[in-house]
Chains A and B, each alone.
Chain A
């Protein structure tokens, strides 16, 4: 699904990301971990063509992301709050995103039904603008919006941060179901080693912009990661 080759990003000779080769097959739940400054968000920004690579390329389903915009119809992401439109109500926001992805109001309404549990009655029908929601609820809205329209690639940066424990558990279940039942490729970054090992079938560790570990998740993965990071 996603091929990365010779990708690097430099800011004034300072290399923040350098990946020679990385292939993410279709339908994989892919986890990205690493300390601050490891290049996780940079990688996602490159994947979404929000920054320009210094060298190399990312090919998303056969489309080179910084050459053509054709990857947009099947890719969705939630990176941070700047993916929300603060002066809309959550419903209006979902409708807007839905419209861009070719879904009408009724489609969205029935789509939103499955998230009632996660929304916990705090998001829909509250007559509040997104900017007035709490950080956690904003995040929920953003993550759900990224799932609108059955995208083939879903990119979530730190989806578990700021969420309450109940929602974290529900979100984990949701993400597992997503990769199990649909053809979606899910890319997640996290600082929480426990969460990623539970959700992802493959985990890549970045350090100073380079891939230092590429693990197929198993029973021992969490231990292995903890050992790596406790240096």
Chain B
């Protein structure tokens, strides 16, 4: 049976039009994975000699055990954002003569083979070998590796619980940020010192390998919790139970001011406020706005003006990146309607454009208080705003013409987490880092003012050629019209 499940998934993946259109993206993902593996490998090999060199009077193993808490915490965070939950279309299997137990176990065990469980091994195994080489004894090395492996799996399953719980609510990634911050704070202010707790646990296990039973029990327990959660979701009830929302009708008269794009603008605003998936971009705005607080209050970043560019692009562009990269997939459910109605493509795209620039300007205005940390921040934020309005927004719209992945807005059942995962963030990278690079060259040769001016001028060029660029982008959309329609018609 497992053979069948595996082959179904294989087919689902490779027969989807998404795969066929995004080979470039998959290659990019491959490079990203390779980069991570190499970094981890280097870290695993180098950390022992480095620690020995820096702290000659301490045992590197104890030091590493002491900071494992942060390793686990960042592992959990990384998984939450990058790892996809094990997804399977279960409905067709439910009425077949198949034990439910089998389906659940398959889904859960499959996740143990995730890339994110192998990645830590690239650091863990070399470090374990270094332990053996440096006379910690073979048992110590192996026990340490085994314990780390078990903890990695514990984090794997812990992440699923957190992720599936937060996918049910609309808070998106607020819960994980909250959990991580609370754990970090408790540890930082030494209310509960998780770092030393985990450190001494690890030390104890290494001393006495019998204690390894504790993490194993933990793993089994967390697996069973996951099993229970999934098992409950295996009933179609969950998805067919008529949870009819009371519809709220709004006229949004104020959008009339925008003329011919008004009906689309209303549609987009309703799209965002009435569907779970896009609604999360509203919460992301809050996070984006507060993002500067990670950097600006810290002394060490005070003179790094290029960092302002990154933060500025992020703050003013977060909605753009989040919403824009799924244009026109947001409308995939009724794309045929839009294509056969009395609609000009250009107006449709213009309304998306307007929505994105309005939110960007709003975000800039809301971020003005950062001027408290220096006037240069405000100047740079303004420059990045102009850059976003003149460059990034068009890149996103243009990229949308290659979009072939349907988003099912109505899907609220379990097992649906479309469009999340590493790809979403990788798309954002160039949008965030290219302006930093553009800033750096004039910054080092001509100075701060020239660098800011470069960004602003680039942005203004984009804004000036708005009509031309939009005509070009519209043409691209028209060219891929038939492909989009047929791709959005597919259910996977």
How distant is B349 from chain A, measured CB to nearest CB, in Å? 15
Q: Decide if A91 touches B339 in the complex (CB within 8 Å).
A: no
How distant is A142 from chain B, measured CB to nearest CB, in Å? 9
Q: Let me know if B333 is at the binding interface, CB within 8 A.
A: yes
Give residues of chain B (399-434) contacting chain A, Cβ–Cβ below 8 Å.
409-410
Q: Let me know if A215 is at the binding interface, CB within 8 A.
A: no
Q: Interface of B with A (CB < 8 Å)? A: 242, 244-249, 263, 266-267, 270-271, 274-275, 333-337, 339-344, 409-410, 482, 485-486, 488-489
Q: Please name all residues of chain B whose beta carbon is closer than 8 Å to the beta carbon of A88 when the two chains form the complex.
A: 267, 270
Q: Decide if B270 touches A86 in the complex (CB within 8 Å).
A: no
Q: Let me know if A132 is at the binding interface, CB within 8 A.
A: yes
Q: Please name all residues of chain A whose beta carbon is closer than 8 Å to the beta carbon of B271 when the two chains form the complex.
A: 87
Q: Please name all residues of chain B whose beta carbon is closer than 8 Å to the beta carbon of A73 when the two chains form the complex.
A: 342
Partner of B334, one of A72, A85, A99, A100: A85
Cα-based distance from A73 to B247 in the complex (angstroms): 30
Cα-based distance from A139 to B266 in the complex (angstroms): 24
How distant is A14 from chain B, measured CB to nearest CB, in Å? 15
How distant is A170 from chain B, measured CB to nearest CB, in Å? 24
How distant is A96 from chain B, measured CB to nearest CB, in Å? 6
Q: Decide if B336 touches A127 in the complex (CB within 8 Å).
A: no
21 A-B pairs (CB sep. < 8 Å): A48-B339, A50-B485, A51-B482, A72-B342, A72-B343, A75-B340, A77-B340, A82-B333, A82-B336, A83-B334, A85-B267, A85-B334, A86-B334, A87-B275, A96-B266, A96-B267, A99-B263, A100-B343, A101-B342, A127-B247, A132-B244
Q: Please name all residues of chain B whose beta carbon is closer than 8 Å to the beta carbon of A72 when the two chains form the complex.
A: 340-343
Q: Let me know if A92 is at the binding interface, CB within 8 A.
A: yes
Q: Please name all residues of chain A whose beta carbon is closer than 8 Å to the beta carbon of B485 when the two chains form the complex.
A: 50-51
The 6 residue pairs across chains A and B that have the minimum distance between CB atoms: A87-B274, A83-B337, A48-B340, A132-B244, A72-B342, A99-B263
Chain B residue with Cβ nearest A52: B482
Cα-based distance from A99 to B259 in the complex (angstroms): 12
Give residues of chain A (133-180) contacting chain B, Cβ–Cβ below 8 Å.
none
Q: Decide if B244 touches A83 in the complex (CB within 8 Å).
A: no
Chain A residue with Cβ nearest B260: A99
Partner of A129, one of B242, B245, B340, B488: B245
Q: Please name all residues of chain B whose beta carbon is closer than 8 Å to the beta carbon of A51 when the two chains form the complex.
A: 482, 485-486
Looking at chain B's contact residues, the main secondary structure is: helix
Cα-based distance from A69 to B474 in the complex (angstroms): 14
Q: Decide if A50 touches B336 in the complex (CB within 8 Å).
A: yes
Q: Please name all residues of chain B whose beta carbon is closer than 8 Å to the beta carbon of A84 when the two chains form the complex.
A: 334, 337
How distant is B213 from chain A, measured CB to nearest CB, in Å? 51
How distant is B288 from chain A, measured CB to nearest CB, in Å? 24
Cα-based distance from A49 to B266 in the complex (angstroms): 26
Q: Please name all residues of chain B whose beta carbon is closer than 8 Å to the beta carbon of A4 when the two chains form the complex.
A: none
| Residue in A73, A79, A88 with the greatest tally of chain B CB atoms within 10 Å | A88
Cα-based distance from A127 to B248 in the complex (angstroms): 7
Q: Let me know if A208 is at the binding interface, CB within 8 A.
A: no
Q: Please name all residues of chain B whose beta carbon is closer than 8 Å to the beta carbon of A48 when the two chains form the complex.
A: 336, 339-340
Cα-based distance from A126 to B336 in the complex (angstroms): 26
Q: Let me know if A97 is at the binding interface, CB within 8 A.
A: yes
Cα-based distance from A49 to B339 in the complex (angstroms): 8
Q: Decide if A131 touches B410 in the complex (CB within 8 Å).
A: yes
Q: Decide if B337 touches A85 in the complex (CB within 8 Å).
A: yes
Q: Please name all residues of chain A whose beta carbon is closer than 8 Å to the beta carbon of B333 when the two chains form the complex.
A: 82, 85-86
Cα-based distance from A199 to B274 in the complex (angstroms): 39
Q: Decide if A82 touches B337 in the complex (CB within 8 Å).
A: yes
Q: Please name all residues of chain A whose beta carbon is closer than 8 Å to the beta carbon of B337 when the two chains form the complex.
A: 82-85
Q: What number of A residues sit within 8 Å (CB to CB) of B?
A: 33
Cα-based distance from A101 to B275 in the complex (angstroms): 26
Give residues of chain A (74-108) contacting chain B, Cβ–Cβ below 8 Å.
75, 77, 79-80, 82-89, 91-92, 96-97, 99-101
Q: Decide if B342 touches A100 in the complex (CB within 8 Å).
A: yes
Q: Let me know if A128 is at the binding interface, CB within 8 A.
A: yes
Q: Decide if B409 touches A86 in the complex (CB within 8 Å).
A: yes
A34-55: CB near B (< 8 Å → 1, else 0) gives 0000000000000011111000
Chain A residue with Cβ nearest B408: A86
Cα-based distance from A92 to B340 in the complex (angstroms): 19
Q: Please name all residues of chain A whose beta carbon is closer than 8 Å to the beta carbon of B342 when the two chains form the complex.
A: 72-73, 100-101
Q: Please name all residues of chain A whose beta carbon is closer than 8 Å to the beta carbon of B488 when the two chains form the complex.
A: 82
Q: Please name all residues of chain A whose beta carbon is closer than 8 Å to the beta carbon of B249 when the two chains form the complex.
A: 89, 91-92, 127
Cα-based distance from A49 to B271 in the complex (angstroms): 26
Q: A99-B263, A129-B274 are in contact. Are A82 and B334 (CB under 8 A)?
A: yes
Q: Please name all residues of chain B whose beta carbon is closer than 8 Å to the beta carbon of A128 when the two chains form the complex.
A: 244, 247
Chain B residue with Cβ nearest A74: B342
Cα-based distance from A48 to B246 in the complex (angstroms): 34
Q: Decide if B270 touches A49 in the complex (CB within 8 Å).
A: no
Chain A residue with Cβ nearest B263: A99
Q: A50-B336, A87-B271 are in contact. Are A100 and B341 (CB under 8 A)?
A: yes
How distant is A125 from chain B, measured CB to nearest CB, in Å? 10
Cα-based distance from A83 to B242 in the complex (angstroms): 22
Cα-based distance from A97 to B249 in the complex (angstroms): 16
Cα-based distance from A75 to B333 in the complex (angstroms): 21
Q: Please name all residues of chain A whose beta carbon is closer than 8 Å to the beta carbon of B340 when the two chains form the complex.
A: 48-50, 72, 75, 77, 83
Chain B residue with Cβ nearest A44: B340
Q: Decide if A97 touches B339 in the complex (CB within 8 Å).
A: no
Q: Please name all residues of chain B whose beta carbon is closer than 8 Å to the beta carbon of A89 when the two chains form the complex.
A: 247, 249
Cα-based distance from A85 to B336 in the complex (angstroms): 11
Partner of A132, one of B245, B275, B339: B245
Sample of 8 more A-B contacts, CB < 8 Å, known A51-B485, A73-B342, A89-B249: A49-B339, A72-B342, A87-B270, A97-B341, A126-B247, A127-B246, A127-B249, A129-B274
How distant is A131 from chain B, measured CB to nearest CB, in Å? 5
Q: Please name all residues of chain A whose beta carbon is closer than 8 Å to the beta carbon of B246 when the two chains form the complex.
A: 127
Cα-based distance from A51 to B335 in the complex (angstroms): 13
Cα-based distance from A128 to B343 in the complex (angstroms): 26
Q: Please name all residues of chain B whose beta carbon is closer than 8 Å to the beta carbon of A82 when the two chains form the complex.
A: 333-337, 488-489
Cα-based distance from A89 to B336 in the complex (angstroms): 19
Q: Please name all residues of chain A whose beta carbon is closer than 8 Å to the beta carbon of B275 when the two chains form the complex.
A: 87
| Residue in B267, B339, B340 with the greatest tally of chain A CB atoms within 10 Å | B340
Cα-based distance from A115 to B246 in the complex (angstroms): 24
Q: Decide if B409 touches A87 in the complex (CB within 8 Å).
A: yes
Cα-based distance from A128 to B263 in the complex (angstroms): 20
Chain B residue with Cβ nearest A99: B263
Q: Decide if A50 touches B339 in the complex (CB within 8 Å).
A: yes
Chain A residue with Cβ nearest B347: A100
